Amino acid sequence: MPIFKQEKNQLSVIEELKIDLEKDLQKITENNLEEVFGLKFISTEFSLHNFRIDTLAFDEEANAFVIIEFKRDRSFSVVDQGFSYLSLMLNHKADFILEYNEKSENNLKREDVDWSQSRVLFLANSFTAHQQNAINFKDLPIELWEVKKYNNNTILYNQLKSSDGSESINKISKNKTIENVSREVKRRTIDDHFKSDWKESRTLFEIIREKILSLDDRIEENPNPQPYIGYKIGNSNLVSVHTYKSKIVVCISRTHPSELKDPEKKATLRLNSMKHYNQNLTDIDIKSENDIDYMMFLVKQIYDKFYK
C-alpha cells in the first residue's frame, strides 16, 4: 500500500526509494537504536567463531542481548539463521559479556543477563510469505522488520507480527540447535504471569487489558520477563500491570500521585521508585471490578498528557 502526502484535498504518492542495507540502513539504525527499538548499541560487525553479527545491542529493560541482522536478499531461512545466532550466543556467553564490557562504560556480569530473553531481529526491505509464515509460533525469539525509505526523508520501521499461533516450535522441530536453544530461551506470555489458581485476578486482568488496549491502536502489550506486563506506545510504557493472586496493581509510568486529579486518593507512590527506576511510578490497586473505571480515569489523564 503506497503512502500519500496530503495537500488540502489532494493526495500525492510519496515515492519509495531503494535502501543500501549494507551501508545506509545499518549506519542510521545503529545511530538511532534507542529511538527506534529502545535498545543500547554495543558493537558493529562483531565477529566470533566464523560468524559475523551485523549489530549487537542490549535490551536494558529485559537485561538481554539482541542480535540485529540486515538482509538484502530474501533467500534465507529466518528460523535456521536465527537459532544459529542464538546458539552461538548461548554457547559463548563470556565472549558476549566481554564485548559488552569493552564497548560500554558499565561492567556486566554473566548473572546480570537474562539469557532466556535473548532474541534476533532481521531487517530487510521485504520478506517472503514463507518467511513470514515461519514465525507463526507463540515462543519464537525472532522478529522480522520491514524497512522502507521515502523521498521525503522518511524511514518506516514496521514489525511483521506473527499470527496468534498457539503451537510451540520446540514441540514440532527435530532440529538439535532449535531444541537446545529452546531449553534456555523462552518468550514470556500472559499465562506466565498467572498461577493456575489465580482465577480472580485473571478475570480482573482480562477486563483491564481490554480497556487499556482500547485507548489507542498504537498501544502494544509486552509480557515482560520482569514481574509485570507492559503497555507501550513507542518505546515507553504508558502503564505496567503487576499480577497477584487476589488483585492487580496498575503502575503508571513517569507520574507522581500529586500530578493526578485523584479525588478518592487511590493513587500511591511506589516506594523508592526514583532510586530504583529513575522516575516516579504511581500504583493503583485493583481488588474488584468496581475499581477498574476509576483506575482508567487516572490512566487516561496520563495518556492525554503524553500521547493524545
pLDDT tens-digit series, residues 264-293: 999 999 988 887 778 899 999 999 999 999
Question: Which band of pLDDT confidence, cut at 50, 70 and 90, is reported for residue 173?
Answer: low
Amino acid at 161: K
Q: What is the pTM of this model?
A: 0.83
Where in the chain are the domains? Answer: 3-184, 190-306
Residue 269, φ and ψ in degrees, nearest 5: -75, 130
Give me 224's grid cell. Answer: 515482560
Res 18 pLDDT > 90: no
**In terms of C-beta density within 10 A (0-12 exposed, 13-18 middle, 19 or more buried), how is residue 293 classed?**
exposed
- Chosen CATH of 190-306 out of 3.90.1150, 2.70.98, 3.40.50, 1.20.120: 3.90.1150
For 68-83, what is each residue's pLDDT tens digit? 999 887 778 899 999 9
Structural domain 3-184, CATH architecture = 3-Layer(aba) Sandwich (3.40)
Question: CA 81, CA 187: separation in Å to the nearest integer?
Answer: 18
Residue 139 has pLDDT above 90, yes or no: no
Of the candidates 12, 18, 54, which has an alpha carbon nearest to the alpha carbon of residue 148?
18
| 52 residue type, one letter | R
5-9 mean pLDDT: 87
Q: How far apart are CA 60 and CA 80, in angstroms?
A: 26
pLDDT band at 127 (very low <50, low <70, confident <90, very high): very high
Cα–Cα separations (whole angstroms), residue 59 to 1, 62, 254: 32, 5, 20
pLDDT at 213 over 60: yes
**In whole angstroms, what is the distance from residue 95 CA to residue 67 CA?**
14
Confidence of residue 98 (pLDDT cuts 50, 70, 90): very high
- Three cell numbers at 32? 538511532
Half-sphere exposure of 199 (CA within 13 A, CB side): 1
| Residue pLDDT, tens place only, 38-54 | 999 999 999 998 899 99
For residues 87 and 96, give the distance between their C-alpha atoms in angstroms, rounded to a whole number: 12
The answer on pLDDT for 105 being more than 90 is no
How do residues 214-265 score in pLDDT, each as one tens digit? 999 999 998 887 789 999 998 889 999 999 999 999 999 999 999 999 999 9
Average confidence (pLDDT) over 47-72: 93
Reading the block at residue 284, the C-alpha cell is 493503583
Q: How far apart are CA 308 and CA 296, in angstroms?
A: 15
CA 243/CA 198 separation, integer angstroms: 9
Query: Beta strand 64-71 with 51-59: parallel, antiparallel or unpaired?
Result: antiparallel
Alpha carbons 230 and 250: distance in angstroms, whole number: 10
For residue 144, the model assigns a pLDDT of 95
Structure confidence at residue 161 as a pLDDT band (50, 70, 90): confident
